[in-house]
Amino acid sequence: MTSNWKEEALNEVEAVEAQVENESTAGARKRRNWPTMLLLIAIAAAVFFIYAPEPLKERVLTSVKQWLPDGQKEVTKAASKPKPAPASNPVSAPGQAPAVEQKPVVIERIVPASSEEINRVLNAMNLLQGELSSLRHQQMELEKQQHAVQVMQLRTRLNWIVNSANHLPQLQLAWEEISLMPVLSADERDQAQNMLAVAQKSLHQLQSWQQVLRKSSESLTKREHDNLIPVLENRWLNWITSQFSVRQSLSREEADDAALRDALIHTSRNIEMEIWPESRAWLELRAKLQLRLLNDNKGSEASVNNTIELPESFDTIRADIESLRSAAAVWLERL
């Protein structure tokens, strides 16, 4: 029995020693694996802070700061910031071009806007579109009003031309104003400029004829004889005699000159008012003026080529004035 007890005691001791040896071996194995685990954790943390999105990193750091001591929070915050990569200066081989330093490409992540910001931008765009449409509508209304005013001005000028109370200078001014109106089309503007050219040509002819008539009338000086009643010394008798005049009658030539002078002045005023003389009366007046001009220049070299610059009739200028009025009447019918 003694030997059996000893054997059992030795077996128990050996079992305990084996258990202790196994536990020490596992502890040593665990101690040997702990640096490897720390290295793996550090690598995982570095990869996480490099490739993880910014919002996720902020949330992780915030949760870590809650259980870290105060002294380690600043260290964690500094560790979260990515360190700038050291600049590398590549050395080019001999005979090759120097290598160009390549800067790191920074890829920024676009953070999507919130729904409130999107709604605010959409509301601002809607307001701008509303203002633009309102301004466009106001512009269209102003253009319509401006067009209506221009049409009214055009109608006024056309009525001015058609009215027989207005004469050639007024017609020329009206067609000039019409040709400058922006409401006209290209064809209407061409027609207005043609009418303006006709009016200017006719007015120039009419003014030149009036100038000839005035100069001719001024050359025919009207002679007046002195009063045959003498001046008395008695002022009362002198007052009575001054109420009467006795003058020598004009000679035949002087009377003809006076009549011709009055006829020229009268005709010049009439053609300005578009009161045209009769054809027979005008030819007779023109012949008298031509004879008087020849008599004044008789014996001189200028008398051969000295002809009066007056037309034989006013039919051409009357037709031009009629065309100006008829064109204005056609335009009024279109409006």
| Distance separating alpha carbons of residues 228 and 245, to the nearest angstrom | 7
Return the pLDDT at 217: 87
> For residues 108 and 247, what is the distance between their CA atoms, to the nearest angstrom?
119
Count helices and strands (H / E) in the chain. 11, 0
Is the predicted pLDDT of residue 40 greater than 80, yes or no?
A: no
State the pLDDT at residue 174. Answer: 95
- Specify the pLDDT at position 71: 46
Residue with tokens 């009549």: 259
Structure confidence at residue 207 (pLDDT): 93
What is the per-residue pLDDT across 161-211, written as a single tens digit (0 to 9) for each?
999 999 999 999 999 999 999 989 999 999 999 999 999 999 999 999 999
Determine the pLDDT at residue 84.
47
With b meaning 16 or more CB within 10 Å and e meaning fewer, what string describes 13-49?
eeeeeeeeeeeeeeeeeeeeeeeeeeeeeeeeeeeee
Q: What is the pLDDT of residue 121?
A: 85
Residue 186: what pLDDT? 93
Q: Which residues of 206-238 are buried (b: 16+ CB within 10 A; e: fewer)?
A: beebeebbeebbeebeeeeeeeeeeeeeeeeee
Question: Which residue is listed with tokens 């081989």?
Answer: 93
CB 280 within 8 A of CB 263: no
- Residue with more model confidence, 64 or 72: 64
Nearest to 285 by CA among 257, 264, 258: 264
Higher-confidence position of 31 and 50: 50
Angle at 34 between CA 33 and CA 37, to 5 degrees: 90
Q: Average pLDDT of 246-253? A: 63
pLDDT of residue 87: 44
Q: Which residues pair with 247 in a beta bridge?
A: 227
**Mean pLDDT, rounded, of the chain:** 76
pLDDT at 225: 55
pLDDT greater than 90 at residue 42:
no
Range 282-311 average pLDDT: 75
- More reliable by pLDDT, 106 or 220: 220
pLDDT at residue 270, rounded to an integer: 93
pTM across the whole model: 0.54
The terminus-to-terminus CA distance of the chain in angstroms comes to 147
21 or 315, which is more confident?
Answer: 315
> Using one digit for the tens of pLDDT, what is the confidence trace for 124-164?
888 888 888 889 988 898 888 888 898 999 999 999 999 99
Structure-derived torsion over alpha carbons of residues 326, 330, 333, 335, reported in degrees to the nearest 10: -120
Q: Which residues contact 204 (CB under 8 A, 6 or more apart)?
A: none
- Residue given tokens 């020598």 in the structure block: 248
What are the contacts of 292-301 at 24+ separation with CB within 8 A?
A: 292/220, 292/257, 292/260, 293/216, 296/219
pLDDT of residue 53: 67
- Residue 247 per-residue DSSP state: B
Of these ranges, 62-76, 114-128, 245-259, the one predicted with the greatest mean pLDDT is 114-128
Q: Tens digits of per-residue pLDDT, 267-286?
A: 999 999 999 999 999 999 99
Lowest mean pLDDT across 79-88, 101-110, 190-199 = 79-88
